[in-house]
Structure 1
Amino acid sequence: MAQPESTYPSTFSEWNAAFLSYENVISSNSDELKLEATIKLGGQLHRAPKHLLLLTVPILVRILEDLPGASGPLQEAAACCLKRVICDNEDHELATLVCEPRTVASLVSILSRSDGRCQKYLIKCLWGAACNALGVISSHVDFIRPVAEAGVIPLYAELLRGTEQLGWEIAEDVFCVLAVVEANAVEIVQHLVRILREDNAEARAAAADVLWDLSSYKHSISVIHNSGAIPILVQLLGDQNTDVRENVSGAIAQLSYRGVNRSALADAGAIPCLIEMLQDESEELRDNAGESLMNFAEDPIHHERLSEAFAMPAFQNMQERMVHIRAADHHMVRSLRHMSIEQLTRDPVLD
C-alpha cells in the first residue's frame, strides 16, 4: 500500500498528541478521515514509541472487527498497520499482547470474512503472532501450559480448516511446540481427529501432516493410539486426494515403528492397503508404504502376512535402501564413538 509523505513527531509529547488525534478520528463517523489517518499511521509505525504501539493494536483490531462484509479500504489499511506492528517488532511485551487468545481469536474470525490484500495482511499477522508465540514459549518453557489453557488450541485448529497453506504451516508450528506437554497433545490430537472426519480434503491433508509430525513424539504415539485416529488414518489411505494419502501414509509409517501401533494398524486393515500402494504412481506413497511394510516384516507377529509383498520390486528396493541407510547410520555411530572429545570440539578454523 502506497504511503503518503508524513512528518514524524520528534518528542514524547508530540507522539502522545499524534496518538490522541488518531484515537479521536477513529471515534468519529467519517470513514474517509479514518482511512486517511490510518494510512498516515502506517507510515509512522516504525518510529513510534513502544507504549503507543501497545495502545494501537487494540484499536486496529476493533477496526477489523467492525468489518461489515467484504473488507474495504479502511480494513485493508488497518490490517496493513497491524502486520507492521506484529511482524516488524521483536519486543517481548508486544509479543505477549499479540499472542493473547482474544487477539488471536479476533484475527482468525476476521480472516474468514476478509478477502484480497486485507486477507493476505491478516495471514501475515497470524504468522507473526505464531512466530512471536513460539519465540516466547521456546524462551520460557513454563509458558506452554498457560498458553494452551488460555484457549489457543481450538483457534489454531480453525486455521487448518482454512484454504491458505500459510495458515496450515502456522498451526503446525504452534501445535508442534505445544504438544511437548502431553495434556496439550491430547487436546490437539482430538481436534485433528475431528478434522480427519470432515469433508474438507485440504483440511484433512493438513491435519494428517500435523499427525505425521506428532507421531515422532514419544508420548504422542500413545496419545494418537488412544485417540481412535488409527482406523481413520487407514480408511484415508483410500482417499481420492493425493495429498491426503501421502500425509496419512507418512503418519502411518512413523506410527508403524511401535509394536502396539502395528497391531492396531493391522487390525484396521492397513497391510493390504499398503501392499497395494507399492504400485502407486506417487513415489512418496510407495516409499511410505514400503517403510511401513518393512516394519511389519521385521515383526514376527505380522511377518507371514506380508508374503505377497516380498516378491514386489518396490518392496525389494525399499529393503535394499533400508539396509544401506541402517548400515550408514551404524557406521556413523561407530565413527563417533571412536572420536575423541578433542576431535569433536576442535574448531577447524582455529587450526
Structure 2
Amino acid sequence: MGDGPLTQVQLIQSLVDVVNTIGLKGDYIKSHKKECAALTRRVKLLAPLFEELRESRQKISSRAFSALRDLEEALQSANKLLQKCHDGSKLYLVLEREAVAEEFDIANADFEKSLDILPYDQFASDEVKEQVDLVRSQLKRAKGRVDNHDLQVYSSLLAVLREKDDGPAGLEMLERLAEKLDLRSPAAIRLENRALQEMMLVKQNLGDDNHEQELRFQQLFTVLRKLTSILPPEDTDDDSPELDRVNIAAGVFIPKTAKHQSEVRAGVGLERRGSQTFDVEGAGAEKLRSQAVPDDFKCPISLDLMKDPVIVATGQTYERACIQRWLDSGRRNCPKTGVLLSHVGLTPNYSLRSVIAQWCETNGIEVPKTSSSKPKQSKVPEYSAGERATVEHLLQKLRSGQADMQRAAAGELRLLAKRNVENRVCIAEAGAIPLLIELLSSQDLKTQEHAVTALLNLSINDSNKGIIVNSGAINPIVEVLKNGSKEARENAAATLFSLSVVDENKVTIGNLGAIPALVDLLKDGTARGKKDAATALFNLSIYQGNKARAVRAGVVPPLMGLLRDPSAGMVDEALAILAILSTHQDGRVAIGQASALPVLVDLLKSGSPRNKENAAAVTLALATYDPMHLETAYKLGAQGPLHALVSDGTVRAKRKAAQLLEHMRLQHESAIPLTSSED
C-alpha cells in the first residue's frame, strides 16, 4: 500500500480490488473445494458494501477506518490461502489436509472477528446490512466442518502411498486417485508436476528442508510417476519433454547445501526458459484460473477471453491482435477451418463484444477496454485513384447546398460505405463525415435518412468511430432518433449502438441525452426499431452511470412488456437488459415494482439456458434487495427449477441458483414463514 499513511480512498479501493481478485480465481482443485467455494462466496457477498462506500465517498469514523483496515488484512490473508489452493499441487494439499483445514479455520475466524467490530450500520444501506449479516451468520457456522469428499481423496492417496504392489489392486487405487483429482491427461500431469516443484522450492525458501519434508516430496513425485504410467497410450504426448521430467522427478530430493539449492533453482529456471512446453503450460495455468469463461468468448488462437473480436471472411471470430499476427506472417487461410480467405478484411463483431461485456459486468470482471483514440486497423488493399475521385465528386455535391444533389450524393455514399472496408476508409479520409453530420439536420427526411445510414455504415471501422463522435455527431443523431422517419430512427439507434462499443463513447452518449430517445423507440418503434433500441440500450447500460439514466427514462415497463409477450421475439434482449439493470439499486427498485417475479420464475422453469441464467441473476438481485421478493419467489415455486439449475445450468446459473437456495434456506430457518405453492 506504499510507505505513506493509508487514505480512506486507498483502503476502500484495496478492499474492492481484493474482492475482485478472489472472485476471478475460477474453479479450484478437487480437494478443499467446498472450503474454497464457501470462503469465496462470503467474500464476494461483501462487494456491494465496498462499492457503496466507494461511490458515496462518505467520510467514515476512525473506528470504522481501523475496522476496515483489519478486514482488509483478513481478506488479503484469505486471498493468499485461496491462491495456494487454486495454484498449488493437488497431491501436496491433499496430504496436508489437516494443516490446510486449520488455515481455513483461522481465515474464517479472522474474517468473522473483523466483521464483528466493523460498524457497518453507520454507512451501509439496509439491503447491504442484511447481506453482511448473512455473511456473519454463515461464518459462525463455518468452524470445524469436515468434508466427506476430502476424507475420501485423502484415504485414496494414503492407500496409493502404502501400496507396494503394482498388480491389479494397485492399478485400481491409482485409477481411483487419478479420477478424484482429475489427473487423467498429460496436460494435467504437467501442471501438477510444475505445481509440486514450485511448492517444494517454496518450502526450501522457508527453511522447511527437514527429512520429513524431503521424504514427503519424494513420495509425491513417485505417485506422480505412477499416475503418468497409467495414462492411455493414445493420450500420451510423445513430443512433450515434460512427461520425462515427471518420471525423473521421483528421484529429486531437497538439496542440503546452498550450492545444490542454487543448482536446482538454476535448473528449474533453465527448464522453464528452454522449454516451449513450460511456456505453453504457463499460459495454460492462466486459462485454468479462468476456465469458467464460456468457450464462445475465447479466441480460437490464444484461448483467452476476447477483448476485440473480429470476423474474417469465413465467418469465424478471433481476437483482432491474434488474427492480425497470423495474417502478418503471410498466412491466408482461416486458422480454425483451414479454408483460404477470399479477402483479409476484419469486421468487428459488435454483438459478441457486447455479450462479453455483459458477462464481465455480471461476473464482477473488469470489462475489456477498447479505445477510439488509436484504433488498430486491419491491413486492407489500397483503394484506387478512381475510387477516390468518385468519392471527391460526391463530396462536392454534398457541399453544393442543393437539396436534390445532397440527397443523391448521401444515398450513393450510403451504398459505397456499405459495400466494403476499402470504401469506408476512403470516404472517411476524404473528409465526408463532418459533411454527413451537417445533413442530419436537413429538413428533407430522405436526405436525413441517407446521412445517418451512411454514418452507420462508416462506423463499422473502429477508426471512424472516433472521428464521428469527435465531430459532434451524437446530438444530431439523437435528434434524428427523436424526429426522423421510421427507417432513420431505426438506423440512428443502430449507429448509437455501433459507436457505444467504445467504452468512453458510452459515457458521452449517455451524457448527451440519447437514452430517453432510445426508450421511446423501444416503446413505440417498429419491430426492427425496438430491436435496434434494445441493442443500443443493452450496450449503453453496461456503463454504471447509464443504468440510473435508463431507469429514470422509464425503460423497465416496456422491457417487462416484451418479457411477457414472447410473440414479440425479444425475450432474450429484454431479459439481458434487466440483468444489467438489476446490478444497480434504482434498477432493482423499478424491477421489483413492476411485479417481475412471476414471469422470472416461469423463465426459470422453461426458458433457454441463457434466459434461465439471466432470470436467476435478476431474481437473486431482487431477493437480496428485499426479503419479501425472496418469499414471493418461494411461493411461486422457484426452488424446483433452481435445484435443476444447480445440477445442469450454465456456470453462472449454477452459482446464482445456489445463492438463491441458500437465502431461502436461511430465511426459512429464521422463522419467517415461507409457504411454497408446490406443497
Q: TM-score range by the shorter chain?
A: 0.5 to 0.7
Corresponding position of 1:135 = 463
Q: CA deviation at 1:182?
A: 5.1
Q: Indicate which of 79, 86, 97 corresponds to 2:432.
A: 97
In structure 2, the CA distance between the partners of 1:89 and 1:79, relative to structure 1 (3 Å rule), is closer
Q: Does 1:66 align with 2:66?
A: no
Partner secondary structure for residue 131 of structure 1 = coil
Q: 1:268 aligns with which of 594, 597, 607?
A: 594
Tell me: CA distance 1:232–1:305, structure 2 relative to 1, closer, same or farther (3 Å): same
Distance 2:535 2:459 in 1: 18
1:190 match: 516
Letter in 2 for 1:57: L
Per-residue deviation, residues 118-147 of structure 1 (Å, max 9, x unmatched):
x9xx99844432235x52453798x27x33
1:210 equivalent to 2:536? Answer: yes
Higher RCO (C-alpha under 8 Å, 6+ residues apart):
1
| Offset, 1:191 | 0.9
Counterpart selection for 1:248 from 574, 578, 582: 574
Please state how far the C-alpha of 1:217 moved relative to its aligned partner: 0.7
User: Given the two structures, how large is their TM-score scaled by the length of structure 1?
Assistant: 0.58
Contact 2:562-2:574 at 8 Å conserved across structures: yes
Once the two structures are superposed, the pairs formed by residues 1-12 of structure 1 within 5 Å of their partners are none
Residues 82-110 of structure 1: per-residue CA shift (max 9 Å, x gap): 7679952536963642344124567x943
Per-residue Cα deviation, 1:276-319 (whole angstroms, up to 9, x for no partner): 22344544433332331233344453322220343232x33445
Aligned partner of 2:395: which letter? Answer: V
Pair 294,163 (structure 1): closer, same or farther in 2 beyond 3 Å: farther
| Distance change >3 Å, CA 129–CA 105, structure 1 → 2 | farther
Deviation digits for residues 11-36 of structure 1, max 9, x if unmatched?
xxxxxxxxxxxxxxxxxxxxxxxxxx
**Structure 1 residues 236 and 140: alpha-carbon distance in aligned structure 2, compared to 1, 3 A threshold:** closer
Q: What pairs with 1:46-61 in structure 2 (closer than 5 Å)?
A: 46-48=384-386, 53-59=391-397
- Cα 1:325–1:194 change in 2 (3 A) is closer
- Largest Rg, 1 or 2: 2
643, 649, 671: which one pairs with 1:316? 643
Unaligned ranges ≥5, structure 1: 1-44, 114-118, 329-351
Distance in 1 (CA, whole Å) between partners of 2:463 and 2:478 is 17
**Is 2:507 the partner of 1:181?**
yes
SS of the residue corresponding to residue 253 of structure 1 reads helix
* Equivalence for 1:339: none
Query: Is the Cα contact below 8 Å between 1:221 and 1:255 reproduced in 2?
Result: yes
More helix by share: 1
The 5-angstrom pairing of residues 1-351 of structure 1 reads: 46-48=384-386, 53-59=391-397, 66=404, 87-88=422-423, 90=425, 94=429, 96-99=431-434, 100-103=436-439, 109-110=445-446, 125-131=454-460, 135-138=463-466, 143=470, 146-149=472-475, 151-155=476-480, 161-162=486-487, 169-177=494-502, 179-181=505-507, 184-185=510-511, 187-198=513-524, 200-280=526-606, 282-301=608-627, 302-307=629-634, 308-313=636-641, 315-319=642-646, 324-325=651-652
Deviations 1:131-167 (A, max 9, x none): 35x52453798x27x3324x12333678995399988
**Does the CA-based 8 Å contact 2:456-2:498 persist in structure 1?**
no
Rounded to whole Å, the distance in 2 between the matches of 1:51 and 1:309 is 68
Q: CA deviation at 1:211?
A: 1.6
Asked if the contact 2:542–2:580 (Cα under 8 Å) also holds between the matched residues in 1, the reply is yes
**Cα–Cα, structure 1 residues 165 and 240, in superposed 2: closer, same or farther, change >3 Å?**
same
- SS of the counterpart of 1:162? helix
Separation of aligned partners in 1, 2:414 and 2:525? 31
Tell me how far 1:252 sits from its aligned partner.
0.5
Give the distance between the partners of 1:84 and 1:281, measured in 2 at CA: 38
In structure 2, do the counterparts of structure 1 residues 61 and 325 end up closer, same or farther at CA, with 3 Å as the change threshold? same
* Unpaired stretches in structure 2, ≥5 consecutive residues: 1-382, 656-679
Whole-angstrom CA distance in 2 between matches of 1:215 and 1:86: 29
Question: In structure 2, do the counterparts of structure 1 residues 272 and 48 end up closer, same or farther at CA, with 3 Å as the change threshold?
Answer: same
CA distance in 1: counterparts of 2:399 and 2:571, whole angstroms: 39
| Secondary structure, counterpart of 2:506 in structure 1 | coil
Letter in 2 for 1:98: I
Hey, what's the Cα distance between the residues in 2 that align with 1:287 and 1:160?
A: 37
Q: How many angstroms does 1:322 deviate by?
A: 7.7
SS of the equivalent of 2:537 reads: helix
One-letter code of the match for 1:88? Answer: N
Distance 1:84 1:252, change over 3 A: closer
Identity of paired residues, percent? 17
Distance 1:283 1:323 in 2: 7
Distance 2:441 2:645 in 1: 45
Residues 215 and 251 of structure 1 are in contact (CA less than 8 Å); yes or no, is this contact kept in structure 2? yes
RMSD, aligned CA:
4.7
CA contact (8 A) 1:82 1:125 kept: yes
Q: Aligned equivalents of 2:646 and 2:604: distance in 1?
A: 13
TM-score norm. by structure 2 comes to 0.33
Moved more, 122-131 or 163-172: 163-172
C-alpha deviations, 1:170-197, integer Å up to 9, x for none? 4421244475335644621111111122
Asked if the contact 1:249–1:288 (Cα under 8 Å) also holds between the matched residues in 2, the reply is yes
Equivalenced residues, count? 268
How far residue 263 of structure 1 moved from its aligned partner, in angstroms, is 1.8
| Kept in 1: contact 2:647–2:654 (CA 8 A) | no
- Once the two structures are overlaid, the 10-residue window that deviates more, 83-92 or 247-256, is 83-92
Counterpart CA distance in 2 for 1:103 and 1:268 is: 41
Paired letter, 1:219: G
Please give the secondary structure, in 2, of the residue aligned with 1:219: helix
- Name the CA shift for 1:77/1:138 in 2 (closer, same or farther; >3 Å): closer
CA contact (8 A) 1:64 1:75 kept: no
